[in-house]
Amino acid sequence: MTELQIGLLFAAATLFVMFLGVPIAFALGVVAVGFMAVFMPRSALDTVTQNVYEEMASITLLSIPLFILKGAAIGRSRAGQDLYAALHVWMNRVPGGLGIANVLACALFAAMAGSSPATCSAIGSAGIPEMRKRGYSPGFAAGIIAAGGTLGILLPPSITMILYAVASEQSLGRLFLAGIGPGVLLVLLFSVYATWQYRREHRAALAVAEAGGASSALLAHEAFSLREKFEMLPRVLPFVVLLIGVMVALYGGYATPSETAGLGAMLALLLIAAIYKIWRPRDLSPILAATLKESTMLMFIIGMSLLFSYVMSYLHLSQSVAHWIVAQQLSPWLLLAAILLLVIVLGFFLPPVSIILMTAPIILPPLKAAGFDLIWFGVLMTIVMETGLIHPPVGLNIFVIKNIAPDITLSQIIWGVLPFVGLMLFAVLLICAVPGIATWFPDVMMGAVVPR
Instruction: Using the predicted structure, report yes or no on whether residue 54 has a pLDDT greater than 60.
Output: yes
428 or 98, which is more confident?
428
CA distances from 260 to 238, 264, 270, 293 (A): 17, 6, 15, 22
Task: Work out the pLDDT band at 394, boundaries 50, 70, 90.
Answer: low
Q: What is the pTM of this model?
A: 0.81
Q: How far apart are CA 302 and CA 297, in angstroms?
A: 9
Instruction: Using the predicted structure, report yes or no on whether residue 107 has a pLDDT greater than 80.
Output: yes
Segment 190-214 shows an average pLDDT of 83
Segment 101-109 shows an average pLDDT of 85
Residues 130-188 pLDDT 10s: 888 878 888 998 999 989 888 888 888 788 888 898 888 888 889 989 999 999 999 99
Segment 267-283 shows an average pLDDT of 87
Give the DSSP H or E segment for 307.
helix 281-314
Instruction: Using the predicted structure, report yes or no on whether residue 116 has a pLDDT greater than 60.
Output: yes
For residue 221, the model assigns a pLDDT of: 67
For residue 88, the model assigns a pLDDT of: 75
Cβ–Cβ under 8 Å, residues 300 and 52? no
Q: How far apart are CA 118 and CA 72, in angstroms?
A: 8
Least confident interval from 76-85, 185-194, 416-425: 76-85
For residue 189, the model assigns a pLDDT of: 95
For residue 375, the model assigns a pLDDT of: 93
Q: How far apart are CA 409 and CA 412, in angstroms?
A: 5
Cβ–Cβ under 8 Å, residues 106 and 123? yes
Give the DSSP H or E segment for 310.
helix 281-314
Q: Count Cα atoms within 13 angstroms, Cβ side, for 121.
A: 17
Instruction: Using the predicted structure, report yes or no on whether residue 118 has a pLDDT greater than 80.
Output: no
CA distances from 203 to 96, 99, 214 (A): 12, 16, 14
Residues 290-300 pLDDT 10s: 888 888 887 88
For residue 449, the model assigns a pLDDT of: 63
DSSP labels for 363-386?
HHHHHHHTT--HHHHHHHHHHHHH
> Computed from CA positions of residues 240, 243, 249, 255, in that sequence, does the dihedral angle turn out positive or negative?
positive
Q: What DSSP designation does 181 have? A: H
Q: Spell out the residues 6+ positions from residue 361 whose beta carbon is closer than 8 angstroms to its own.
A: 167, 309, 312, 313, 318, 319, 322
Cβ–Cβ under 8 Å, residues 35 and 316? no
Q: How far apart are CA 424 and CA 385, in angstroms?
A: 10
Residues 223-256 pLDDT 10s: 777 787 788 777 777 777 787 887 788 777 788 7
114 or 134, which is more confident?
134
Q: Spell out the residues 6+ positions from residue 81 whose beta carbon is closer than 8 angstroms to its own.
A: 122, 125, 126
For residue 220, the model assigns a pLDDT of: 66
> Computed from CA positions of residues 431, 434, 435, 437, in that sequence, does the dihedral angle turn out positive or negative?
negative
Q: How far apart are CA 76 and CA 89, in angstroms?
A: 23
- Highest-pLDDT range among 266-280, 319-333, 366-380, 400-414: 366-380
Q: How far apart are CA 162 and CA 321, in angstroms?
A: 25
For residue 218, the model assigns a pLDDT of: 66
Task: Work out the pLDDT band at 312, boundaries 50, 70, 90.
Answer: confident
Residues 317-353 pLDDT 10s: 877 877 777 778 888 999 999 889 888 888 877 778 8
Q: How far apart are CA 76 and CA 67, in angstroms?
A: 14
Cβ–Cβ under 8 Å, residues 284 and 72? no
For residue 182, the model assigns a pLDDT of: 94
